[in-house]
């Protein structure tokens, strides 16, 4: 449609130029100049429309398997017995992915485990390559910054910076059909072994 309309307008304008008074050489130069300008405008408009028609890359596509509401039942690791639900969803016009605690049905654990624990996890793209990062907050004042990767199409790994003081943290999610398995691990400075602090699994709600 754009090409036909532009060519039609060009033909009318060119005919008008040819019929206008003036010596032939001047009219030829005017027609040639008009053609070059018209082609340039047509190219710019076509390129602009094509650029607008290409959908932007979705930085969260690799994490889409996380989306939804999930049950979370701990497996007794570290003596924690808890049952609840959490969710992953895109927010802020799809600029971040957020994990929220939806409900907590039961919780039992050792004295050093906070059954009233609550937290937030935000995942966001950063930089020209839209590399995924995450930041974690909880009601105990902890803040953890993660780099996010997907070792497999249904696995997400959140890894904190080992250069920071204190333990390094690692958070895993792995989806198998309608089951999600998760574990939160830590590694003390100078050690190579990761130890699970809590592990859980559950069906999609």
- 5 CB-contact burial (10 Å; exposed 0-12 / middle 13-18 / buried 19+): exposed
Instruction: State pLDDT tens for residues 33-42.
Output: 545 445 454 4
pLDDT at 79: 87
**Rounded average pLDDT over 58-84:** 93
Q: Count Cβ neighbours within 10 Å for each residue of 13-35 and write b for 16 or more, e otherwise.
A: eeeebeeeeeeeeeeeeeeeeee
Mean pLDDT over the full length of the chain: 82
Which carries the bigger pLDDT value, residue 110 or residue 10? 110
Would the pLDDT of 51 be above 90?
A: no
Put simply, whether the predicted model's pTM sits higher than 0.85 gets the answer no
Domains of the chain (ranges, CATH numbers): 2-53 (no CATH), 61-203 (2.40.128.20)
**For 204, which DSSP code?**
B
Instruction: State pLDDT tens for residues 77-129.
Output: 778 899 999 999 999 999 999 999 998 889 998 888 888 889 999 999 998 88
């Amino acid at each position: 449609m754009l090409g036909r309309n532009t060519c039609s307008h060009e033909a009318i304008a060119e005919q008008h130029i040819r019929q206008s008074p003036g010596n032939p050489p001047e009219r030829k130069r005017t027609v040639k100049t008009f053609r070059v300008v018209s082609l340039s405008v047509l190219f710019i408009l076509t390129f602009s429309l094509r650029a607008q028609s290409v959908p932007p890359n979705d930085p969260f596509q690799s994490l889409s398997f996380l989306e939804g509401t999930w049950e979370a039942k701990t497996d007794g690791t570290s003596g924690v017995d808890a049952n609840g639900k959490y969710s992953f969803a895109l927010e802020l016009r799809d600029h971040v992915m957020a994990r929220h605690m939806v409900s907590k049905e039961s919780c039992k654990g050792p004295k050093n485990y906070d059954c009233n624990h609550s937290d937030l996890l935000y995942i966001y793209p950063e930089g020209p390559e839209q590399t995924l990062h995450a930041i974690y907050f909880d009601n105990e004042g902890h803040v953890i910054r993660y780099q996010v990767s997907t070792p497999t199409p249904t696995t997400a790994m959140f890894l904190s910076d080992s250069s920071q003081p204190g333990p390094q943290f690692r958070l895993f999610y792995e989806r198998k059909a309608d089951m999600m398995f998760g574990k939160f691990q830590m590694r003390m400075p100078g050690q190579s072994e990761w130890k699970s602090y809590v592990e859980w699994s559950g069906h999609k709600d």
